């Protein structure tokens, strides 16, 4: 074999080898690039999924928090409404009591009650050294009634005064003591209400 032929064969073999190795290297590099790209893509996808789960968890937690807050507000609003209704009913009962007491502690009823109190007081204190406070419009009629019932004692020992803050009923006490037993409509209604309120509150509470 001639030297030229040998040289050509060696050259062709070298070219084939270079080509083969180049292709293999290119394929290897391409595979590495593809793998790297896939790894990065997988990482991006995994990160995105994790972030999505975090956002989802946060959204779910926020939704639950808002639901709990809304439920709490609705519950409190319901309680406030119930308390307001109960308070309104109790206030209404108080007003009815006071109105009823006011209508009862006037005119002849008032006169009869005061006469009864004075007679009970007279059993302990013969002097009837009393001061009676009444509504200003009731004063004169009451004075006349007391004079008719107790004559001289009423004229000398019992003093009846009109008081602007008394709508109905009366207060009485020993002259000069400034201490009075309170039988006004407000005081009587409040006394009755103190007995009624616990029962009414229990009734409204379902007890």
Angle at alpha carbon of residue 95, lines to 91 and 96, rounded to 5°: 115
* pLDDT the model gives residue 34: 62
Residue 181 in tokens: 């037993």
38, 2: one domain: yes
Least confident stretch, 36-40, 135-139, 182-186:
36-40
Contacting residues for 111 by C-beta, under 8 A, at least 6 apart = 141, 142, 145
Q: Select from 93, 103, 92 the least CA-distant residue to 185.
A: 103
User: What are the strands of the beta sheet with 158-162, ordered from one edge?
Assistant: 158-162, 130-134, 169-174, 181-184
Q: Are 146 and 154 in contact (CB under 8 A)?
A: yes
Write out pLDDT tens, residues 102-131. Answer: 777 777 777 778 778 777 777 766 666 778
* pLDDT the model gives residue 29: 59
Contacting residues for 130 by C-beta, under 8 A, at least 6 apart = 118, 121, 157, 158, 159, 172, 173, 174, 175
67, 130: one domain: no
Q: Which residue has the higher pLDDT, 182 or 68?
A: 182
**Predicted confidence band of residue 65 (pLDDT cuts 50, 70, 90):** confident
* pLDDT the model gives residue 74: 62
Q: Does residue 164 have a pLDDT over 80?
A: yes
Asked, for residue 198, whether it belongs to a domain, the answer is yes
Asked, for residue 79, whether it belongs to a domain, the answer is yes
* pLDDT the model gives residue 54: 62
Q: Does residue 7 have a pLDDT over 50?
A: no
Domain assignment of residue 10, given as a range: 1-86
Mean predicted lDDT score pLDDT of the chain: 68
In 10 A of CB 100, how many CB atoms? 14
Q: Are 161 and 180 in contact (CB under 8 A)?
A: no
* pLDDT the model gives residue 2: 44
110, 200: one domain: yes
Q: Are 173 and 179 in contact (CB under 8 A)?
A: yes
54, 115: one domain: no
């Amino acid at each position: 074999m001639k030297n030229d032929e040998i040289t050509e064969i060696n050259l062709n073999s070298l070219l084939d080898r270079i080509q083969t190795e180049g292709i293999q290297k290119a394929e290897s590099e391409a595979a590495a690039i593809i793998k790297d790209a896939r790894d990065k893509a997988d990482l991006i996808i995994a990160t995105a999924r994790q972030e999505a789960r975090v956002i989802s968890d946060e959204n779910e937690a926020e939704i639950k928090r808002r639901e709990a807050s809304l439920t709490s507000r609705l519950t409190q609003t319901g309680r406030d409404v119930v308390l307001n209704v109960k308070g309104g009913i109790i206030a209404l009962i108080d007003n009815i009591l006071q109105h009823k007491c006011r209508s009862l502690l006037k005119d002849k009823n008032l006169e009869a009650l005061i006469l009864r109190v004075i007679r009970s007081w007279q059993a302990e204190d013969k002097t009837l050294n009393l001061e009676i406070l009444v509504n200003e419009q009731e004063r004169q009629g009451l004075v006349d009634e007391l004079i008719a019932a107790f004559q001289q004692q009423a004229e000398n020992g019992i003093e009846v005064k009109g008081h602007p803050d008394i709508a109905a009923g009366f207060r009485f006490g020993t002259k000069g003591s400034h201490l009075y037993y309170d039988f006004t409509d407000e005081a009587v209604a409040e006394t009755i209400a103190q007995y009624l309120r616990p029962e009414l509150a229990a009734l409204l509470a379902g007890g």
